[in-house]
Amino acid sequence: MKIVTLAALAAMAAAPAMADSITREQARADYHQAKADAATSQLQKEDAQATANEAQADAATQQAQANAAQDDAATQQALANASKAKADIAQNQANASQAQADNAQTQAAQAAANRDAALDRADDARAVAHTN
């Protein structure tokens, strides 16, 4: 019975030591797992930062392209405005030329009427001269 009691006492004494050992091993395992998780998180952070940097560079490129397109559009608008101004000037000149042509046509019609009247007077004068 002594042996059984001694064995029981030894087992009881070993149980706290074993519990401490298991706790220490669990703490070590937790520590190593936390370090691995931290390393994984660091890699994920670096990947996310690289992706963000690429997106920022892409956004800057797209902004530069948008600015260039805006400049091109402004240039085209200025050219269109200049062409419209030239067209307006040409239209005004055409209107003035049309008015001059209309005036000349009126003068020509008046000259034709004056000629016809002069011819009629000449015919009348010839007829009077023949009868006298």
Cα–Cα distance between 25 and 6 in angstroms, integer? Answer: 28
pTM of the model: 0.50
Terminal Cα distance for the chain, rounded: 189
Cα–Cα distance between 17 and 14 in angstroms, integer? Answer: 5
In 3-state terms, what secondary structure has residue 1? Answer: coil
Cα–Cα distance between 118 and 125 in angstroms, integer? Answer: 10
* Tens digit of each residue's pLDDT (9 = 90 or more) over 4-25: 455 554 555 555 555 578 889 9
Distance of CA 85 to the CA centre of its chain: 28
Question: Which helix (H) or strand (E) segment is 132 a member of?
Answer: none
* Tens digit of each residue's pLDDT (9 = 90 or more) over 61-82: 999 999 999 999 999 999 999 9
Cα–Cα distance between 69 and 76 in angstroms, integer? Answer: 10
Radius of gyration (Cα) for the chain, nearest Å? 56
